[in-house]
Amino acid sequence: MAKSSPEMPKSPQDVIKMAKDQNLKVLDLKFIDFPGLWQHFSVPISALDEDAFKDGFGFDGSSIRGWQAINESDMLIIPDPETAIVDPFMETPTLSMVCNIQDPLTRSPYSRDPRSVARKAENYLKSTGLADIAYFGPEAEFFIFDDIRFDQDARSGYYYVDSVEGRWNTGRDEKPNLGYKLRHKEGYFPVPPSDALHDIRSEMMLTMIECGMNIEAHHHEVATGGQCEIDFRFSPLVSSADQLILYKYIVKNVAKKHGRTATFMPKPLFGDNGTGMHTHQSLWKGDKPLFAGAGYAGLSEMALHYIGGLLKHAPALLAITSPTTNSYKRLVPGFEAPVNLAYSQRNRSAAVRIPMYSNSPKAKRVEFRCPDPTCNPYLAFAAMMMAGLDGIQNKIDPGEPLDKNIYDLEPEELAKVPSTPGSLEEALNALKKDHAFLLKGDVFTEDVIETWISYKMNNEVKQVQLRPHPYEFALYYDA
3-state secondary structure 208-229: HHHCCCCEEEEEECCCCCCEEE
For residues 402-424, give the mean pLDDT. Answer: 84
Per-residue model confidence (pLDDT) at position 10:
81
Does 399 score more than 90 pLDDT? yes
Active-site residue flag, 14: no
Catalytic residue check, 72: no
Express as a percent the part of the chain with pLDDT over 90.
89
Backbone φ and ψ for 11, nearest 5 degrees, come out as: -125, 160
Q: Which of 58-72, 327-341, 413-427 has the lowest mean pLDDT?
A: 58-72
The enclosing H or E element of 27 equals strand 26-32
Compute CA distances 316 → 19, 163, 311, 386, 419, whole Å.
44, 36, 10, 12, 12
pLDDT of 68 over the 80 cut: no
Bridge partners for 236 per DSSP: 135
pLDDT at 223 over 80: yes
pLDDT (average), residues 264-287: 97
Lowest-confidence pick of 32-41, 178-187, 401-410? 401-410
* Other beta carbons less than 10 A from residue 237's beta carbon: 23
Nearest to 98 by CA among 152, 192, 167, 28: 28
- Average pLDDT rounded to a whole number, residues 131-145: 98
Active site residue 413: no
Catalytic residue chosen out of the listed positions 260, 278, 365, 435: 278
Q: Of the listed 65, 107, 172, 348, which one is catalytic?
A: 348
Q: What percent of the chain clears pLDDT 70, i.e. is strictly above it?
A: 97
Break the chain down into helix, strand, coil percent, rounded to 5.
35, 20, 40
259/237 Cα distance (integer angstroms)? 33
Q: Is 348 a catalytic residue?
A: yes
Stretch 165-169: mean pLDDT: 97
Candidate list 195, 221, 272, 372, residue with the active-site label: 221
pLDDT of residue 36: 97
For residues 398 and 309, what is the distance between their CA atoms, to the nearest angstrom? 8
pLDDT of residue 412: 81
- pLDDT confidence of residue 320: 98
Of residues 402 and 217, the one with the higher pLDDT is 217
**Number of neighbours of residue 441 by Cβ within 10 angstroms:** 16
Which residue is catalytic, options 28, 113, 141, 390?
141
Helix (H, G, I), strand (E, B) or coil at 405: coil
Q: Number of H helices and number of E strands within the chain?
A: 14, 18
Torsion of CA 463, 468, 470, 475, to 10 degrees: 140
pLDDT-derived band at 3 (thresholds 50, 70, 90) equals: very low
Query: What mean pLDDT comes out for the span 74-86?
Result: 96
More confident residue, 1 or 300: 300
Q: Under a CB-based contact definition with an 8 Å cutoff, are residues 470 and 80 in contact?
A: no
Residue 369 annotated in active site: yes
Using CA atoms, how far apart are residues 479 and 476, in angstroms rounded to an integer?
5
Global pTM reads 0.96
The pLDDT value given to residue 225: 97
* Rounded Cα gap, residues 107 and 117, in angstroms: 16
Q: How many CA atoms lie within 13 A of 11 on its CB side?
A: 3
Q: 297: left (phi > 0), else alpha (psi -120 to 50), else beta?
A: left
User: Whole-angstrom Cα distance, residue 477 to residue 356?
Assistant: 51
The chain-wide mean pLDDT, for the chain, equals 94
The catalytic residue among 122, 242, 367, 390 is: 367
The pLDDT value given to residue 7: 57
Is 91 assigned a catalytic role?
Answer: no
Q: What's the rounded mean pLDDT across residues 128-136?
A: 98
- pLDDT for the residue 1: 38
CA distance 113 to 111: 6
Q: Is 141 a catalytic residue?
A: yes
Q: Give the DSSP letter string of 236-262.
A: EHHHHHHHHHHHHHHHHHHHHHTT-EE
Average pLDDT, integer, range 464-479: 96
Active-site annotation holder among 260, 353, 369, 435? 369
pLDDT band at 328 (very low <50, low <70, confident <90, very high): very high
pLDDT for the residue numbered 6: 45
Point out the catalytic residue in the list 229, 242, 390, 460. Answer: 229
Active site residue 435: no
Report CA-CA distances (Å) from 211 to 87, 96, 100, 363: 8, 10, 20, 25
For the cut 90, the answer to whether the pLDDT of residue 295 exceeds it is yes
State mean pLDDT over 193-210: 98
**Residue 357 confidence (pLDDT):** 82
315 touches 372 (CB < 8 A): no
Max CA distance (Å), the chain: 71
Q: Among residues 28, 33, 122, 139, which one is catalytic? A: 139
- Which residues contact residue 151 at a Cβ distance below 8 angstroms, ignoring those fewer than 6 apart? 157, 158
The crossing angle, in degrees rounded to 10, of helices 301-321 and 446-456 is 50
- Encode 12-33: b = buried (16+ Cβ within 10 Å), e = exposed: bebbbebbeeeebbbbbbbbbb
